[in-house]
Amino acid sequence: MRILVTGGAGYIGSHTCVVLLEAGHTVTVIDNLCNSSAIALERVQELAGKPLRFVEGDIRNRADLDRVFEGGIDAVIHFAALKAVGESCEQPLRYFDNNIGGTITLMQAMEAHGVQRLIFSSSATVYGQPDSVPIKENAPLRATNPYGRTKLVMEQLIQDWCAARPEVSAVLLRYFNPVGAHSSGRIGEDPRGEPNNLMPYIAQVAVGKREFLRIYGDDYPTPDGTGIRDYLHVVDLAVAHLKSLDYTAAHSGCEAFNLGTGRGYSVREMVNAFQIAAGRPVPSQVEDRRSGDVSELTADPFEANARLSWHAKLELSAMCADVWRWQQQNPNGFINEA
């Protein structure tokens, strides 16, 4: 199958490209490289032992998309988006323009070129502060920041498009907390500036790039007082996109699935597990809670398990070991070869 991967040079996109190529699909990537590196795609091809087509372009630019679709595309996996919660609060217009505007232009191009299968990279942020955990797909949707609201609007756009076009099939994948890296250490998460997520921050402390980890709050109603989140390995997440492609081949309409392990780990548990994997200490300092943080966010992955035939297989030890391997081999990310 000919797959277009938007944002395919990014963290999750690059790992998904490896899985797609290894499964025998033909892959085209469009990415404007605003938050990623073309080096990742070179390494994807090295790991898979197969080539892909890369177009440097912006999905908001219809001419760029038409150039991509003219080569023939059967399905789209849509990752391309800005994704930092804090930044979205500072630059909401940029986020709405890029994320929502880009999705509209992409879907218009898909319709013009007769492409009817779409896998969308959504997020658990669409649930906001949940009433209960683990979270099911039918929980209320109430994003609490501009980034989450863009994801929610993008979901609604896709749902409305499917309702208007019965022949279209779309899957909305609501990620919880992707971590890990390819076991080779060749590709992994390469945040620009200060990491927004826990695991890369821990890794940068362990490798000596940062002095200590800031733990925001140790007075939550959890066993050790720190917040609990559902972490899943990025390779398991990549496989879910492959399973979703199979699902769209047999179903029409739009469906949403939670992707997580269903098991939560606290910040302190994550630090302890990483210290074991790295064989060195990760100094930390407790600070005040951040506004809007909740004590626990975990997924109920039953629907993905049952209907996509997908299960998260890689455990916390593998998540930590793979991140440490990536961090050791690439202390400055892809910039080492830039």
Q: Which residues are catalytic?
A: 147
CA distances from 118 to 15, 110, 191, 208 (A): 18, 9, 27, 41
Q: What is the DSSP secondary-structure string of 53-70?
A: EEEE--TT-HHHHHHHHT
- Residue 304 and residue 259 in contact, taking contact as beta carbons nearer than 8 Å: yes
Q: Report the C-alpha gap between 338 and 330 in whole angstroms.
A: 12
CA distances from 299 to 129, 240, 313, 314 (A): 13, 15, 15, 16
| Rama region for 260: left / alpha / beta (φ>0; ψ in -120 to 50; rest) | beta
Q: Report the C-alpha gap between 14 and 55 in whole angstroms.
A: 14
